[in-house]
Amino acid sequence: MASWIMHDDVADVQKKLRNHQVNDGQLRTAGEASQRSTKEDWAEWMRHFSIELLKESPSPALRTCARLAQLQPFVGRELFAVGHS
């Protein structure tokens, strides 16, 4: 019976991942860069922006990487770079 419950949980998560609605407003807010001037400001902006892009991605695979990118900033940078090639 436990495997049946786990299957239901996995199916529920998969359904949520498929039905994700991209929040354009969240992306616009994250992309705001008018108050950036130093190298450190831009590095922090890039870190935050790449995480938000992952969170709002229409791709379930990329959205699952958002938490990892928060913990390991290089992940967000690498995925951001791949997305532009």
Contacts of 83 (CB under 8 A, 6+ apart): 53
Q: Is residue 23 part of a domain?
A: no
Q: Is residue 59 part of a domain?
A: yes
Full domain range(s) for residue 61: 44-85
User: Tell me: the pLDDT tens digits for 22-66?
Assistant: 888 888 888 888 888 999 998 888 888 888 888 888 888 888 888
How many structural domains comprise the chain? Answer: 1
Q: Is residue 62 part of a domain?
A: yes
Can you give the pLDDT at residue 40?
93
Q: Is residue 9 part of a domain?
A: no
Q: Is residue 53 part of a domain?
A: yes
Can you give the pLDDT at residue 2?
47
Contact 66, 56 (CB under 8 A): no
